[in-house]
Amino acid sequence: MLAQRLKAPSQDNSSNITPMGFIFVCTDKSEKYMLESLTFPQSKAYGHRVFAVKPEDYIFLYNLDSDTLYGPFLAETEGQYDPNLELFEGKYPYYVKVKTIGDIKKLKNASIFLSKLGISWRDYLTNKGARALISVLEGKALPKKDEGYIDKDYRPPIFSTTLWDYPKQSYGTTPKGNNKYPGVTPAFIIYNLIWRYTKPGDLVLDPMAGSGTTIDVCKEERRRVIAFDIVPTRKDIIQADARALPLKDGVVDLVFIDSPYGDNIKYNDHPRNIGHIPATDERFYDELEKVMVECNRVMKERAVLGWLIGDQWAKGVFVPVGLKIYERLTKYFEPIDIVCVVRRNQASNTPFWQSKALQHNFFLRGFKYLIIVKKSSKRKSKELNIKWNFYER
C-alpha cells in the first residue's frame, strides 16, 4: 500500500493531495527568529523531513528546550534548500516558509500531550493526526490515541546503526522502481545513501539501473541522476555497459550499484550481461572489477560509492560473494563502512525452504551487504569535530 497522502480522484478541480502534518523543531535560541520571520530552517540532519513537505501541509513548531508547541501553520512552499542561507552560521540550509491560520496557539508541556496521542515529533502526521494536534492546541478535549495519526510508509527512517531493516520495497505516494522486476532494489537503501552522502542538486550515478529505483528516489529528493543498464527497461535509462560508461572523468558525486550476485537471477539475454557468469567463477569478480574501475574514473575526489551485494548458497556450495566484492573494491577505494541490510520478502523464505534448511543443515540468506567506500583524495580530509569518549560498562 502506498502512503496515505493521495486522495481518491475527485470530480472537482481541487488538489488531489491531502495535507499532512510536520512538526519542526527549534530551541530557545532559534524560536524568536522562526516565529517572527515565519521561516522554519532546519539542519542537514532533518533535511529529508523538510523535503517531504508540500505546500498547504500543516506545520507545527516544537521548542525542544521549553517543551512548548506552536501552531498551526500552513506551508507556503515545498521544502527548500539554500546552501547560502547565512542563518545560524549557515548550519540550517533546509527550510519552509509558513503562514499562520488565525492566532498562533501555544501548548506548554507538549511532550505529555504528544505522548497521550501516541505521536513523536519525528513522525509524519496524517491529515487525521494533524487535525488531532490542532484540536489539542485549540484547547479542545484530548482526542483518543489512534494508529491512524501517523503515516509510517511516507518516508523510511534515516538509520543511525549499521543494521538497516525496512519492510517494504517502496514508500511514499509514487512507486520507486518496479517491484515486479527481478532483483529490484529496496528504495530505502538509496534514500538513506543520498541523504547521508549528497546534497540537493548533486549528481548520482546508477550504472546497472534495472527498473530505475535510483532514478525515482533521486528525482523525489531533488538530486540529479544518470542511469545506465545493458538492457534499459524505461526511456530514462541509457543503454551502456557499466564497464565503459559514456561519462567524463570526475563528474559524479555518488554511485549506487546493485549488481548481479552471480547467475542466480535471469535479467535478460544480452551477451554482455554480467549476470550470466556464476559467482563460483573468478571471471565474475574480474568483470565486476572493471565496473569498479570505471565508477572510480567518473567519480569526483572523495565521492562515495554504495555497492549492494549478497552471498550465495546453492547446491551445497557457499560463496562469500560480499567479502570477495569488498576485497576487490578496496583495491581502488577507501572503506567507509559495511551495512547489513535485512532481506525481507525473499522468494526462498517459504515454509518449504525453511524446513529444507533445517533438514539439510544450511542457512537461507538473511541479509545483504551494503559496502560503502569512497574515492580517495590527495587532499587531507577534515578532522571530525566530535569529542570521543571511552565508555565503561
Ligand X SMILES: C[S@@+](CC[C@H](N)C(=O)[O-])C[C@H]1O[C@@H](n2cnc3c(N)ncnc32)[C@H](O)[C@@H]1O
Q: How far is the CB of 350 from ligand X (least distance, A)?
A: 21
Q: How far is the CB of 264 from ligand X (least distance, A)?
A: 10
User: Alpha helices, DSSP H only, in the chain?
Assistant: 28-37, 47-50, 87-90, 110-117, 127-137, 187-197, 213-220, 282-298, 321-329, 351-359
Identity of the amino acid at 277: I
User: CB-wise, 121 or 228, nearer to ligand X?
Assistant: 228
Q: Which residues bind ligand X (CB under 6 A)?
A: 177, 181, 183-185, 207-211, 213, 228-231, 241-243, 258-260, 267-268, 272-275
Q: How far is the CB of 280 from ligand X (least distance, A)?
A: 18
> Helix or strand or coil: residue 77?
coil
Backbone angles phi, psi at 118, to 5 degrees: 75, 30
User: CB-wise, 21 or 186, nearer to ligand X?
Assistant: 186
Q: How far is the CB of 190 from ligand X (least distance, A)?
A: 8
User: CB-wise, 114 or 227, nearer to ligand X?
Assistant: 227
> Helix or strand or coil: residue 313?
strand
Output Rg (C-alpha) for the chain, integer angstroms. Answer: 23
Residue 381 neighbours by CB distance under 10 Å: 10
Q: How far is the CB of 169 from ligand X (least distance, A)?
A: 8
First to last CA, the chain: 43
Residue number of the CB atom closest to ligand X: 210
Residues 220 and 188: beta-carbon distance below 8 Å: no
User: CB-wise, 79 or 310, nearer to ligand X?
Assistant: 310
Q: How far is the CB of 255 from ligand X (least distance, A)?
A: 12
User: CB-wise, 93 or 210, nearer to ligand X?
Assistant: 210
User: CB-wise, 198 or 259, nearer to ligand X?
Assistant: 259
Residue 316 neighbours by CB distance under 10 Å: 7
